[in-house]
Structure 1
Amino acid sequence: MSEATIDRPLETAERPVRLPPSPPVPKFLQAVGYAALRRQLIRRLTGMYGSAFTLSTPVFGPMVVVTDPALAKQVFTAPTEVLGNIQPNLSRILGPGSVFALEGSEHRRRRKLLTPPFHGKAMRNYEAIVEEETLREISSWPEGREFETLEPMMRITIDVILRAIFGAIGAELDSLRRILPPWVTLGSRLVVLPKPGRDLGRWSPWNRLAGYRREYDEVVEALIDQARSDPQLEERTDVLALLVRSTYEDGTPMTPSEIGDELLTLLAAGHETTASTLAWFFERVSRHPAVLEKLVAEAATDDNEYRQATILEVQRNRTVIDFAGRRVLSPTFELGEWTIPQGYSISVGIGMAHRDSEEFPDPERFDPQRFVGERPNTFAWIPFGGGTRRCVGAAFANMEMDVVVRTVLRHFVIQATSAPGEKWHSRGVAFTPKRGGRITVHRRTA
């Protein structure tokens, strides 16, 4: 029987296993395809097999991929004792103190500590930082000459995070600016590859990553010591200070290594992804003059409804992170008509869910109007993942993108273009515009 018609009556402690279809090619080729051309492969297999199929992957092993919002809802709402975090996950890069490494009650306790910095008054305090860093970066933008926006957006987002999340200033800020960009770039590429079973030498990428981490730990330890001795600690709003003075329900504080891992997690989750989305934003609106005209008119006011709708549509139409994963912990998991066995990974194909024609009519069309006065389905629009593992910094990222775009539109005229849309480029975890989201601008004179 071909693997393309999988229906295996393998007995388990629950129901017989029944897996979605799998492409009839060797597992090795499936794994290579997933590692090298993940987005294209998922799109093609969705066209062949529909909303669920099975793959062999190089890092996560046997995996069921789902692209239907109804199946995504099942995955995201499953009890944590049934579906846990995918293994391995980002904690192998970020450290065992990262929220990615935690399960069950430990995960809930940590998220409870991480939630307050990203809501209410704390968020309003961060807006001024975002505007300051944006103004500083765009002050040197060239006029009348095409340039890429991805790297400027990378600089803005990392400086915002270092100030708002790390509370870094002076020498520590300079050190982290030097260490973290190459760490993020290298880590995002290595996280989707199998880790070698032996030491490949001092010049191997894994050893270089470890070297960056040692330097990072020294700087963060100094920042934690400074925070603990700061007489103004209670008044500080940076996330490092909030974590230093916070405690679990039993009164115990976070350890320095846990704080360091979490700060790195917030950086990794919020730096490259937010910058990539902003680069796609400028790439998209420069090719849609009617959208750009509405954004410019709104930017002159205090409203942001259309800007928010455009950000939502960019995240749907040019999805930066294309999957969210879980791992089956129970003997079996019922997923639609399928029965998935323990140990299998389940991946929600975010990019393809965002192209569900029932949820998003004419899904290939870039149309912010679809979100004006209309909030998206929680399980169809999922750029931040879903369920108990939805990105804790989603509100922060949304605020940051809103303020950056508003500031740029108030100071520059973006020149519309009829050039073809930029192709997708994989940086390992995130997908960015291949040419960097290039635009041409002119400074506003009034």
Structure 2
Amino acid sequence: MTQVAGEASDTVENRVPSATNLPPGPRMPKAVSGLLLIVARRWAIQRLTRRYGSAFTIDGPLFGKTVFVTEPELARQVFLANPEDLGNIQPNLSRLLGPGSVFALDGAEHRRRRNLLSPPFHGKRVRAYEQIIVEETQREISNWPTGKSFPTLEPMNRITLNVILRAIFGAEGAELEQLRIDLPKWVTLGSKMVALPIPIRDYGRFTPWGRLAAWRAKYEVILDKLIADVRADPDFENRTDVLSLLLNTTYDDGTAMTRQEIGDELLTLLAAGHETTASTMAWVFERLSRNPELLEKLTAEADSDESALRRAAIREVQRTRTVIDFAGRHVYAPSVQIGEWVIPRGYSVIVAINQIHPNPIAFDDPHRFDPHRYITGSPSAFEWLPYGGGSRRCPGSTFANVEMDLVLRTVLRQFAIETTTAPGEKYHARGVAFTPKRGGRITVRPRAQRR
């Protein structure tokens, strides 16, 4: 396996026209490359980067013939390419989320939807959700054990889920409770199944696809109730939840989103912002418990109105413990040029984020955990990529940044986190996201009452 993944000297055969110039890569059966990328993706991409450098080619079963790029300049060219030439990768999460998801859209339709989705996640719109974030954090951490090690991943999952259900879905009461039960199951199973072929015949209620379909059907019923409640609210136009904003917003031509588009888009916002944010926060606690000097400074900062170091620490965790490790595109033009390489139509291009974040071209001493690098300077949008890049960059990044900042501040104001000299936790592939293998375990004790 080691020979196949990182040491083979053979390159992918060039079976395309002579004008094409593909980067080298390992020659291996499609099934083998697919299995390798499923069971050991981080390890495989790291080994291939060491072997081939800034770009390499793989032929896999999911995205087909694919060029991986691992340096910031190549990432810049990918993200700035004309979306008509280098567009939406296929397949993608729309297989799970539905055709109304922004993941399913490309070109003009994608730009149109992005323009509609952007306002709820910027400026004062996001500030309207701050109280919800603090309330959900306080509710969750009120049950934390003291003096005993526990994993933070699941508590973070509950916080991010509840924040999304309240701030984005506008859910409350019985609908909120039912969504709290069903949607985590749907997200967890769906993230594991999204890369697998979808059966053509009836799923069967005992199959994974059958369970996904059943949960989706329950979701649609609850969503109809939520929409009816919003429309019946006499204060409808002053509501701040994203569902209400989508129901009360139109495109430039005056048309509105359809019921299916709204349902698919809300699930997209959940899938994109729930486990990813929670996984990052679990890594935040895992990292801080191993950096006592930084933790002391952050605790002092939490008692003030300052946030620069806290936000920098979160950014450095996002760089050094990358949760989503790639962003993909598909070649629709006859060919595209990325660096010295000319890639033909039908190929996919993947930016290997987890290879750019530790790249010394982008970051000095990249393996050092140092939040101050974001206070004295700022990396470019093609060097720091936790939210992807270009026209398909995550629209909820501002929301996620505010949420993580408030969660960490709230925890640090209430608890002192004990430091540890234990080795750092390893990565664990939890579907799409990479989480701390032991769940980001920490030990806390109550702080003295703040004055």
Q: Over residues 108-154 of structure 1, what are the superposed CA-to-partner deviations in whole Å (9 max), with x where a residue is unaligned?
A: 11111101111111111111100000000000100000000000000
Aligned residue in 1 for 2:179: 176
CA contact (8 A) 2:72 2:383 kept: yes
1:166 matched to 2:169: yes
1:339 partner amino acid: V
1:4 matched to 2:27: no
CA contact (8 A) 1:91 1:101 kept: yes
**Counterpart of 2:129 in 1: which secondary structure?**
helix
Aligned residue in 2 for 1:304: 307
2:75 partner amino acid: A
Q: 1:192: how far off?
A: 2.4
**Structure 2-normalised TM-score?**
0.96
CA contact (8 A) 1:6 1:18 kept: no
1:335 matched to 2:338: yes
Aligned residue in 1 for 2:272: 269
1:211 matched to 2:214: yes
**Structure 1-normalised TM-score?**
0.97
Identical-pair percentage: 61
CA contact (8 A) 2:249 2:256 kept: yes
For the structure 1 residues 57 and 33, does the alpha-carbon distance in structure 2 shift closer, same or farther, using more than 3 Å as the test? same
Aligned residue in 2 for 1:234: 237
Consecutive unaligned residues in structure 2, runs of 5 or more: 1-7
Aligned residue in 1 for 2:395: 392
352, 359, 362: which one aligns with 1:356? 359
Q: Over residues 81-129 of structure 1, what are the superposed CA-to-partner deviations in whole Å (9 max), with x where a residue is unaligned?
A: 1011110111110010000111111111111110111111111111110
Aligned residue in 2 for 1:83: 86
Q: Aligned equivalents of 2:52 and 2:297: distance in 1?
A: 40
1:136 partner amino acid: R
For the structure 1 residues 207 and 362, does the alpha-carbon distance in structure 2 shift closer, same or farther, using more than 3 Å as the test? same
1:370 matched to 2:373: yes
Q: 1:289: how far off?
A: 0.5
Aligned residue in 2 for 1:157: 160
> How many pairs are equivalent?
442
Q: 1:292: how far off?
A: 0.5
338, 345, 348: which one aligns with 1:345? 348
**Counterpart of 2:130 in 1: which secondary structure?**
helix
Q: Aligned equivalents of 2:104 and 2:9: distance in 1?
A: 33
Q: Aligned equivalents of 1:118 and 1:269: distance in 2?
A: 13
CA contact (8 A) 2:12 2:27 kept: no
1:140 matched to 2:143: yes
1:24 matched to 2:27: yes
Q: 1:6: how far off?
A: 4.4
Q: Over residues 388-427 of structure 1, what are the superposed CA-to-partner deviations in whole Å (9 max), with x where a residue is unaligned?
A: 1000000000000000000000000000000000010001
Aligned residue in 2 for 1:96: 99
1:319 partner amino acid: T
CA contact (8 A) 1:186 1:205 kept: yes
Q: 1:339: how far off?
A: 1.1
CA contact (8 A) 1:22 1:53 kept: yes
Q: Over residues 259-304 of structure 1, what are the superposed CA-to-partner deviations in whole Å (9 max), with x where a residue is unaligned?
A: 1111100000000000000000000000011111111111111010
Alignment of 1:247-266 (within 5 A): 247-266=250-269
Q: Aligned equivalents of 1:408 and 1:61: distance in 2?
A: 45
CA contact (8 A) 2:21 2:342 kept: yes
Alignment of 1:407-446 (within 5 A): 407-446=410-449
Q: Aligned equivalents of 1:3 and 1:225: distance in 2?
A: 62
Alignment of 1:43-82 (within 5 A): 43-82=46-85
CA contact (8 A) 2:205 2:214 kept: no
Q: Aligned equivalents of 2:172 and 2:15: distance in 1?
A: 61
Q: 1:201: how far off?
A: 2.7
Aligned residue in 2 for 1:223: 226
Q: Aligned equivalents of 1:199 and 1:291: distance in 2?
A: 54
Q: Aligned equivalents of 1:391 and 1:61: distance in 2?
A: 24
